[in-house]
Amino acid sequence: MSSLEDLTQQMLEFRDERQWAQFHNPKDVALSLTLEAAELLELMQWKSGPELLEHLKVNRELLADELADVLGWVLVLAHDQGIDLGMAVKEKLIKNAAKYPIEKARGVAKKYTEL
């Protein structure tokens, strides 16, 4: 298993070998991230329940590719903006724990404003 730092370094090496950093302003990186997320969602469009689960199982490699594309753009954007993703996730979990206390949120699919 690779660490976020290792994966980020590999993404940056890939980008730098191709001299693409010049094209990676925050807006366009975020746009690319959104487009890749849309491709991930497209894999699931018009399917639900058992059909969706079977489709994802059969198309596991495509699913993995799209997830990797999304993560790659997240890593690049975080790096370029000086964000420690590991720390950001830990801090966000603390914030979410306050918004979604276990005693109110367990087994409930509601937004924190509705709990």
Q: Considering the chain, tell me which residue range(s) the CATH 1.10.287.1080 domain(s) occupy.
A: 4-83
Which residue has 């964000």 as its token pair? 83
Statement: residue 1 has pLDDT above 80: no
pLDDT band at 10 (very low <50, low <70, confident <90, very high): very high
For 50-84, the pLDDT digits (tens) are: 999 999 999 999 999 999 999 999 999 999 999 99
Contacts of 62 (CB under 8 A, 6+ apart): 43
Strands (E), the chain: none
Query: What is the CATH architecture of 4-83?
Result: Orthogonal Bundle (1.10)
For 19-51, the pLDDT digits (tens) are: 999 999 999 999 999 999 999 999 999 999 999
CA distance 23 to 8: 17
